[in-house]
Structure 1
Amino acid sequence: MKMQWLARVSPLLLLSATAVGAENLYVGAKVGSVTADNFGPLVESRTAIDDSDTSYGLFVGYQLLDTLSIEGSYNYLGEYNLKDIAGGSYDASTFDVLLKASGNINDSLALYAKGGFAIYDWNASGPGVESDDSGVIPTIAFGSEYSITPSMKIGLEYQFYDGIGGVNIDSFNVALSHSF
């Protein structure tokens, strides 16, 4: 399901990138660790929860000004096992739209902050906890980027999702991006 969603969204991102011109465009991928909390009393009273997993994502951005960009991204935010429910798990993914404000510390290092919204999809599976939901929530991120070359950057990022199906998710990622 998640890969089908990504397959549907990717051509739209590429078409819009072609339309606006490649000179201000950047693309990238990220991988990291996520933790989740606030599963709610109904779940937390029934089971222990493995509340951390691996996350990954793909993003495309367009630099509007030297210090302001707009980004779209797909993020898989992990699967969390419900330890006392046979086959029980919770998984989440998002499609984010963010404004990114950045400032250079020196020629190679920049700090940034992002804010925007996430369109989320989550699913809970297992006896007595089967459910799913989708919606729109706010999200923020903070990070740093180091220029390896004029067109290649590596970065560290923290992102917070407030209330994906009631669950708060913290994401810590390493990102690699390429500018055109």
Structure 2
Amino acid sequence: MTKMYKILPLALLISGVVHAATDNPWYAGARIGGTNFDSFGGALDGAESSFERDDWGGGAFIGYTYNSWFGVEGGYTYLGQADANTGGGGFEVHGLDLVGKFTWHAAPSFDLFGKLGGYVFDVDNSVNNQDDNGVSATAGIGAEYFFNDDLSARAEYQYYNQVGGSSPGESDVHFYGVSLVYYWGAPEPVAIIEPEPVPEPAPVPVQPEVMKVKALSVNLPFAFDSNALSQSDIDRIQPIAQRLVEYPETKLYVVGHTDSRGSEEYNQKLSEERAAVVAGYLGAHFGINKSRIVAQGKGESEPLASNDTEEGRAKNRRVEVYTPGFEITK
């Protein structure tokens, strides 16, 4: 069992990062289910047959998700009471959980997760009138289904190791139950300006001198799962930046793309972020008005090469930056 808890967080990390079922980082919930007491020790050593070891438990919790695979969670959990078979009273446990939550997004609306952390317990053994408090280790696994971005349900199992002390006694406690969870706190989505159709050039009278200015375009490569501009990218778009400054009536078109790894929803969002980063840099550093910039993401829908090879995927992770050609009459 101990080896499984050590391997679980690493396995979830290596399994890969995909789009989360919800972008809300904060959540709170309540859980209820059954509990079981076993492996008695201390004052309870060998007394398993003297207690009814099954009861109910539950609690409430709040958590924060730091990224797509890790978050922290804390809350109150009541683990029930192992009632004495003769006389009154029993061995009752409640306390506070603080755990790390490791998540694998198995499907767009379905997660698998593991927990690892500590349990600050308070134990009351009314059979021998002894109390104790302290910290024990806890770990668990479960599955979570998202009804929408704000609401989910969980089924989970959690193990609490040797809760109690030598005087009141101690016991392993197993909790199994269901939870209802509410999520909130996602930032408002960034609006993406849909591109306008490139207008057909209007006919112009024949003039003695007409200067044709050619269209400029460049493809900027991006690293896997990145929306960061490199210095070489900035150098490559300088001619386009100078064109926009020199001709204030020209427009800028920025289209982001990704390779096929990851879900379509995640890739669409990443392509929009890449386009927004390039458009934002040109607008901020060269004073280009937002009305002159059209930015959009195409996700994985328009590859330049096959996504079956690393070389092909590298070509597909790109942002196309384009200014149309035009004519100037002198």
Length-normalised TM-score, structure 2: 0.45
Change over 3 Å in CA distance of 1:47–1:108 after alignment to 2: closer
Gaps of 5+ in 2: 1-23, 165-169, 185-330
Aligned with 2:181 (options 152, 177, 180): 177
Q: What amino acid is the match of 1:55?
A: G
Q: For 2:52, what is the secondary structure of its paired residue?
A: coil
Higher relative contact order (CA 8 A, sep 6+): 1
Q: What amino acid is the match of 2:77?
A: N
Deviations 1:16-64 (A, max 9, x none): xxxxxxx521000000000001223754459621001010110000011
| Structure 1 residue ranges, 4+ long, deviating more than 6 angstroms after superposition | none
**Corresponding residue number in structure 2 for 1:101:** 102
Change over 3 Å in CA distance of 1:69–1:41 after alignment to 2: closer
**Corresponding residue number in structure 2 for 1:133:** 132
Structure 2: distance between partners of 1:32 and 1:52: 11
Percent of aligned pairs sharing the same letter:
28
Q: What amino acid is the match of 1:91?
A: E
Aligned with 1:54 (options 39, 53, 56): 56
Contact 2:59-2:75 within 8 A present in 1 as well: yes
Structure 1: distance between partners of 2:25 and 2:43: 47
Change over 3 Å in CA distance of 1:42–1:122 after alignment to 2: closer
Gaps of 5+ in 1: 1-22
Structure 2: distance between partners of 1:42 and 1:116: 26
Shift of 1:67: 1.1
In the alignment, structure 1 residue 39 sits paired with structure 2 residue 40: yes
In the alignment, structure 1 residue 87 sits paired with structure 2 residue 88: yes
**Corresponding residue number in structure 2 for 1:160:** 159
Question: How many residues end up aligned between the 2 structures?
Answer: 155
Q: For 1:38, what is the secondary structure of its paired residue?
A: strand
Structure 2: distance between partners of 1:83 and 1:153: 39
Q: What amino acid is the match of 2:159?
A: F
Contact 1:47-1:82 within 8 A present in 2 as well: no
Change over 3 Å in CA distance of 1:70–1:122 after alignment to 2: same
Deviations 1:88-131 (A, max 9, x none): 311001201111010111111100001011100110003xx221
Change over 3 Å in CA distance of 1:47–1:101 after alignment to 2: closer
**Corresponding residue number in structure 2 for 1:112:** 113
Structure 1: distance between partners of 2:147 and 2:48: 48
Q: Which structure would you say has the larger Rg?
A: 2
Change over 3 Å in CA distance of 1:41–1:27 after alignment to 2: closer
Q: What amino acid is the match of 1:108?
A: S
Q: For 1:65, what is the secondary structure of its paired residue?
A: coil
Length-normalised TM-score, structure 1: 0.82
Question: CA-atom RMSD, angstroms?
Answer: 1.6
**Corresponding residue number in structure 1 for 2:150:** 151
Change over 3 Å in CA distance of 1:42–1:135 after alignment to 2: closer
Task: Answer 1 or 2: which has greater strand percent.
Answer: 1
Task: Answer 1 or 2: which has greater helix percent.
Answer: 2
Change over 3 Å in CA distance of 1:51–1:150 after alignment to 2: same
Structure 2: distance between partners of 1:162 and 1:130: 22
Q: For 2:51, what is the secondary structure of its paired residue?
A: coil
